[in-house]
Amino acid sequence: MKDYIEDRAIELATYIINNNATVRDAAKKYSVSKSTVHKDIVERLPRINVSLALAVRAILDENKSERHIRGGQATKMKYLAEKNAG
């Protein structure tokens, strides 16, 4: 594997762990696609650093279990903003 891809996978994982970030947050921060972040974290990282992969996997699993709540909050904020504007 190319060194820069390994470095990117480690950097993405570290960012997600340090900021409790989502895949979408990491993709935006590093200007890559969500698919790239997911592939780096789920497929490449376990071959590079198993303990880091397990730590980031725990955060991604937590984010996945909370995503329906985030979606509801985003919708609520959208309608509140529209109500206050109109």
pTM of the full structure: 0.76
pLDDT, position 10: 96
pLDDT, position 67: 66
pLDDT, position 40: 96
Q: What is the pLDDT of residues 26-80, one digit of tens each?
A: 999 999 999 999 999 999 999 999 999 999 999 999 988 776 666 677 788 888 8
> Can you tell me the distance from the alpha carbon of 15 to that of 10, in angstroms, rounded to the nearest whole number?
9
> Can you tell me the distance from the alpha carbon of 26 to that of 53, in angstroms, rounded to the nearest whole number?
15
CB 86 within 8 A of CB 45: no
Task: Spell out the SS3 assignment of the chain.
Answer: CCHHHHHHHHHHHHHHHHHCCCHHHHHHHHCCCHHHHHHHHHHHHHHHCHHHHHHHHHHHHHHHHHHHHHHHHHHHHHHHHHHHHC
